[in-house]
Structure 1
């Protein structure tokens, strides 16, 4: 018999917020296919931002079907699938904030807004119904300590990387090269990471290290979200290489390896879970 922890659910009795996975996928997947195939969608973007948008579209075609499959498994009562699902929804919310605010108004604008709204409401429903009292607290084991250190290092490393681009440009008031190439007012990735994702990652690492129940819930969610985001970065860099634009295969390899480590770490952590939420 499987040791998989299960919540008392089924496909028919799945909560409303889990059902939002269906429109997220049914809107997001065709939208990404359209972005890849129809030149008009990103016609007003700079060449650099077109490349990044198309690369993100390709990553969506991997992550959004996974989101839908995880939703089905979670609806059958799998807590592990549920936590991984929440991470893919975080990925969707993160990604569609960028589409909605940093892509010129066009035919897919309302689609971006819809997917963003659906993802945010799904996360609100998920977190509002977590019974944290059902998650056991205990001194962190070896795996939790390793994952905790990994999360803290990730958060600190990317924060320093983004700040190394932003801080030198602030005294002169001139945007960094990356921002000029994208043709944007500000970098939405830096905004989301420095304001939300990286602090959440750091806090999750600290909570996990202390054996807090929220650390055990949030860690696989953060890791699965970051694995999806890493896939997006690798995808857009591969598109840049294919289009003859500036991109480093070394950086692609490093980020690809990082994404694999994030996914494997998430899987190992999920396997260790023996609680219901």
Structure 2
């Protein structure tokens, strides 16, 4: 598995170069996007450069050392990277960073696929302190609530044959977050929560990565109003409190879960 951890390091390095370029030359990179999209893209670049990229490098190093905790969190950071670069590659006009985004996407998908394929949930040793009920219920509730929130916008648009308001604000025919969340991420969150409640090893194996994914998702949302203000544009602050509270609660749940996985480098290291 060492090779795939190193592949993810290459992806993280390329991503951070792209993030830096996106911040330095934002007008050139995102100049054909609408204002709201540019605000979100700049916020995402900051979070990716400062948090996601370094985290992926550190977690990949942990995987190389044989850490099971790092392995499970590494999967979440990789999944978040794949999610982001699907949006970058498919929704931003083709430009100077397009090939780099495609490279990051391809490398991240390959490493994530290999990591999931070689993960053995039954080999993980969880202590009797695992907060199964807290983790399981939290994942199910968050997944269902976000699905209902997205559907509350999508269903009326489908019935009326119009573009959802959030997609219209981004200048897109559809909101990629709705598509990715309802097709992949939210079903995975709910399924993992149910599996945790049923005491299935796979649920606990997936839970840390999904919780980390949720934390990383909240950070650019919280940063976007600050980016808008810094750029002298209209900022929307309404989401800061609910997303901030959700992010903090997710961090707390993750902090309770991860230490209950007992480390054994000899067991955790994969070929």
How does 1:1-277 map onto structure 2 within 5 Å? Answer: 15-38=2-25, 39-61=27-49, 62-135=51-124, 143-274=131-262
Aligned residues between the structures:
263
User: What is the rounded CA distance, in whole Å, between the counterparts of 2:24 and 2:126 in structure 1?
Assistant: 49
Cα pair 1:136 1:213 within 8 Å, conserved: no
TM-score normalized by the length of structure 1: 0.89
User: What is the rounded CA distance, in whole Å, between the counterparts of 1:135 and 1:247 in structure 2?
Assistant: 45
SS of the residue corresponding to residue 155 of structure 1 reads: helix
Q: Please, which moves more after superposition, 36-45 or 195-204?
A: 36-45
User: What is the rounded CA distance, in whole Å, between the counterparts of 2:176 and 2:117 in structure 1?
Assistant: 27
**Which stretches in structure 1 are left out of the alignment for 5+ residues?**
1-13
TM-score normalized by the length of structure 2: 0.91
Cα pair 2:75 2:116 within 8 Å, conserved: no
Cα pair 2:56 2:77 within 8 Å, conserved: yes
Cα pair 1:137 1:213 within 8 Å, conserved: no
State the shift of 1:74 in Å.
2.3
State the shift of 1:234 in Å.
1.6
Cα pair 1:98 1:188 within 8 Å, conserved: yes
User: What is the rounded CA distance, in whole Å, between the counterparts of 2:232 and 2:155 in structure 1?
Assistant: 30
User: What is the rounded CA distance, in whole Å, between the counterparts of 1:97 and 1:144 in structure 2?
Assistant: 32
SS of the residue corresponding to residue 171 of structure 1 reads: helix
**Greater helix fraction, Structure 1 or Structure 2:** 2
Cα pair 1:147 1:205 within 8 Å, conserved: yes
SS of the residue corresponding to residue 131 of structure 2 reads: helix
- Render the CA deviation track for 1:83-118: whole Å, top value 9, x for unaligned: 111111111001000000010100000111111111
User: What is the rounded CA distance, in whole Å, between the counterparts of 1:52 and 1:271 in structure 2?
Assistant: 33
SS of the residue corresponding to residue 32 of structure 2 reads: coil
Cα distance change on mapping 1:133 and 1:144 into 2, 3 Å? closer
SS of the residue corresponding to residue 185 of structure 1 reads: coil
User: What is the rounded CA distance, in whole Å, between the counterparts of 1:100 and 1:217 in structure 2?
Assistant: 29
User: What is the rounded CA distance, in whole Å, between the counterparts of 2:148 and 2:122 in structure 1?
Assistant: 36
Question: Moved runs in structure 1, 4+ residues, more than 3 A?
Answer: 135-138, 241-248
SS of the residue corresponding to residue 224 of structure 1 reads: helix
User: What is the rounded CA distance, in whole Å, between the counterparts of 1:236 and 1:86 in structure 2?
Assistant: 26
SS of the residue corresponding to residue 20 of structure 1 reads: helix
Cα pair 1:100 1:109 within 8 Å, conserved: yes
